[in-house]
Structure 1
Amino acid sequence: MKLSAELQAFQRRIGHEFTRPDLLVRALTHGSVSSQTRPDNQRLEFLGDRVLGLVMATALLERDKSASEGQLAPRFNALVRKETCADVARDIDLGAVLKLGRSEMLSGGRRKQALLGDAIEAVIAAVYKDGGFEAAQAMILRLWGKRIDLVDADARDPKTALQEWAQARGETPPAYVELERSGPDHAPVFTMAARLQSGTEARASAKSKRLAEQRAAAMLLQQLEDDA
């Protein structure tokens, strides 16, 4: 099977050239467009989730040799949760190559967190089956990149931390306001503001609203800490 130019470009983005291109095609095939002769990516997703978990658990153990299980668990969860997987998928524009049925495509399937998260796990499994564990491990570590190094010591969501800060001072929970959306429909960039009752705010941009909100909350927390 010869891959299209679009899929060849995707191979370059993930850093793996398939010897069995059918695996990549299957990993990118959603159930809305599957058939008896075109299987969907659900079985690969199941496998990829386990491969991702093993790679992340190993990376975290090697990164912090003194951490307890209680410290490692929330870091692990932060790195493998569906939101993080979807953010990684957006980084490599996976949505642009997803094979979707018409109804799913019209409902914005290329941007859906669940679909993107499932698909990146399926791609991980495809690389694992095509090139073995080391190939899958190398790709995961490359795509997750600084997320592993920067995962918070207790993997605490900055939005939760900011809300707790506001509540401790008798303020209403912070508001998150979309300021701008740019880029193509399949790969939008959102600019969000995290805003306190006092009017103090911080702004950040990302490829998903959730990530932009988290970044803005983290920036606002840092600003409040600096001003303290």
Structure 2
Amino acid sequence: MNLNGTTALVTGANRGLGRHFAQQLLERGAAKVYAAARDPRTIDLPGVVPIALDITDPESVARAAAAAPDVDVLINNAGVSLHQNLVTGDLDKIRRELETNFFGTLNVIRAFTPLRAILNMNSRLSWISYAGAGGYAASKAAQWSLTNTVRLELPDTLVTGVYLSATDTDMMAGWDIPKNDPADVVRQAVDGLEADALEVIADEDTAQAKADLSAEPALAT
């Protein structure tokens, strides 16, 4: 699709990947970019339209949809990782991960449809699990299924899933490991939208995780 002249909404646009999405969409010629955050006063990017949106609150979602009825490209970037094991973790925190990453994404899609394009920021952990991130992995596996199902239910809408490993954002600030450049991830994602791609795999580790889905299950070493 051609992004020139489109009207986009980016969730979680006050920092990290979301801020890069808003900036790069403007650079690609979007006519208007709504930059959404719980507190729109945290939006500091020139040229965007700040808008209040808590994706876990149906009333907030409904207000945003009423305030931005011209959106035709939706970037579902907002998400949360609370580092919970499934068996021993805090159930309220696990529910929050699911409420945000799965139900929150679904809330926004339902409110803003019909659309020309939807892009969901998924994860390598849609396909693998790590001890200490069971709740997040489960929520991202659910978001992977959501992405594929919405694509079937909305055949006239381009639905793109983006999958990535550790990326240099606030979510991964405490991890001393190699990380993707968020600007590069977003560039790949926006390139994918413009190429009508159904999936964007942002790095080699994520590509390997998807390839390993056909292998026999094994414990991580």
TM-score (norm 1): 0.27
TM-score normalized by structure 2?
0.28
**Which protein is richer in strand relative to its size?**
2
Greater gyration radius: 1
